[in-house]
Amino acid sequence: MKHLTAFVADHKQDSRCGIFAVCSAHPLVLEAAMRHSRDEKSLLLIEATSNQVDQHGGYTGMTPEDFRGFVEQMADKYHFPREQLILGGDHLGPNRWQALPAEEAMHNADELIRCYVAAGFKKIHLDCSMSCADDPVPLTDTIVAMRAARLAKIAEQTCIEKFGASDLVYVIGTEVPVPGGAHETLAELAVTTPQAAKTTLEAHRHAFELQGLSDLWPRIIGLVVQPGVEFDHTQVIDYQPEKSLFLSQMIEAFDTMVFEAHSTDYQTPQALQQLVQNHFAILKVGPALTFALREALFSLAAIERELRPAHKCSGLRDVLESVMLEHPEYWKHHYHGNDSDRRLARGYSFSDRVRYYWPDHDIDEAYSRLLTNLAGESIPLPLISQYLPLQYAKVREGKIAATSHELIIDHIQDVLRQYHCACLGTQQSK
């Protein structure tokens, strides 16, 4: 994928530019991202995870081919050039099948990789770090690397068979804690050591050589490490550059590679800029975007209650709570404490388990009713000022319309703008 290899080359030539990956399948998040990137005339990297999208549908119900079609239809709808769109697959490996014996899990991972590559995904994160049912805990670097190389070989073969040549780029390694935010309350977070990062690279280089994939190495553009950023339900661990100084310096010796930083959600704009400047040049963001979506919808529901009789209101917050209680599988292993603690977490946790529930029929119906109730006329400015003050300023300046849809999109774009600014690199000073 020439866009991404060129981006890494630019970063290495002291531009210190970055790119961020939108890790969400929600239509409103994707609309916000496409409209933002269209207006900025920038690349848009959208990534699906192995939990969201797989050969059986994942929790979104979409296969990789379905997801690509869904995203491309949206791109056409919002006049975003397809040639500026990059699709990536995140944490591709046996993650979904850890309860199975390793060989059975890897057989499923083989098919997962084939489906992603055949569907036109070009940025492939190979992650075989998780132990399966009959594996040692934790896995050795050698086992992880050999499994990643096995999947890389399948990816290359699939791409050549489907498209005539391979232009895939790869990311290797994984972060700790688990993707999507920590499950437990955070106390302290260990930054990956330079030696650990080098060991990961050397293990993968050797494994790729054994598979006859040495020529592929320049297309490994990213190494996932832990730079010291994370979030849990109520707190964020902010990036502290001094703690990752030696790690940042270590990647400078690798001309075709940068770091990929996961769980950068909720970092301050300054921290995001520092991450990119210190070679954590691929920033992943997901929950922060759906968190912003939820914020906007809760704010609009509060406005609705001021404008409509109670019996005509959508009751979005109550409907959401009811559905989450009836179907607790997406939050019950994550949220703990007493009833009050868990209720607060269900609605407001930074880990945003709400994102799994928006497709529910009852919630979608309440959302539609909310928008219908607010669609008749422009929302009064004092209420926008009360509940969406950042959007109020833009409405007053004539930058956005005072409609529910535009308020939602702009609130999500507030997050995207922080990432865009962080990724400008040395262009910021021009």
CATH number, position 397: 1.10.400.20
**Triad 147, 150, 155: Cα angle to 5°:** 125
Spacing of C-alpha 220 from chain mean position? 19
CATH number, position 103: 3.20.20.70
Phi, psi of 337 (to 5 degrees): 100, -165
Looking at 231, 261, 285, the residue that finishes a domain is 285
Q: Measure the CA–CA gap between 49 and 60, rounded to whole angstroms.
A: 10
pLDDT tens across 132-147, in order? 999 999 999 999 999 9
**Residues near 237 by Cβ (< 8 Å), separated by ≥ 6?**
186, 189, 228, 229, 230, 231
Do 267 and 388 have their domain in common? no
Phi, psi of 380 (to 5 degrees): -55, 135
Would 427 be classed as within a structural domain? Answer: no
Do 224 and 210 have their domain in common? yes
Do 255 and 343 have their domain in common? no
Radius of gyration of the chain (CA): 22
pLDDT tens across 191-201, in order? 999 999 999 99
Question: Count of CB atoms within 10 A of residue 321's CB?
Answer: 14
Do 332 and 239 have their domain in common? no
Do 87 and 194 have their domain in common? yes
Do 297 and 281 have their domain in common? no
Do 98 and 131 have their domain in common? yes
Do 113 and 162 have their domain in common? yes
Do 166 and 248 have their domain in common? yes
Q: Three-state DSSP class for 374?
A: coil
Reported as type and span, the H/E element at residue 99 is none
Position 47, amino acid:
E
State the Cα torsion 92-268-32-24 to the nearest 10°.
20
Would 365 be classed as within a structural domain? Answer: yes
Q: Name the percent of the chain lying above pLDDT 70.
A: 96
How many folded domains does the chain comprise?
A: 2
Would 122 be classed as within a structural domain? Answer: yes
Q: How far is CA 89 from CA 64, 170, 197, in A?
A: 9, 10, 22
Yes or no: say if 90 and 180 are a contact pair by the CB < 8 Å rule: no
Computed over every residue of the chain, the mean pLDDT equals 95
> 8: exposed, middle or buried (C-beta count within 10 Å: 0-12, 13-18, 19+)?
buried
Cis peptide bond prior to 81, omega within 30° of 0: no
Do 331 and 309 have their domain in common? yes
pLDDT confidence band for 275 (50 / 70 / 90): very high
pLDDT tens across 50-72, in order? 999 999 999 899 999 999 999 99
Length of the chain: 430
Would 15 be classed as within a structural domain? Answer: yes
Averaged pLDDT for residues 154-179 = 88
Would 411 be classed as within a structural domain? Answer: yes
Do 227 and 304 have their domain in common? no
pLDDT score of 185 more than 60: no
Would 68 be classed as within a structural domain? Answer: yes
Residue 31 belongs to domain spanning: 1-285
pLDDT tens across 290-322, in order? 999 999 999 999 999 999 999 999 999 999 999
Would 123 be classed as within a structural domain? Answer: yes
Pick the closest to residue 238 from 179, 191, 291 (CA basis): 191
Looking at 254, 285, 316, the residue that finishes a domain is 285
Do 191 and 49 have their domain in common? yes
pLDDT score of 177 more than 70: no
Would 200 be classed as within a structural domain? Answer: yes
Q: Which residue has the tokens 């003050």?
A: 389
Looking at 285, 305, 324, the residue that finishes a domain is 285
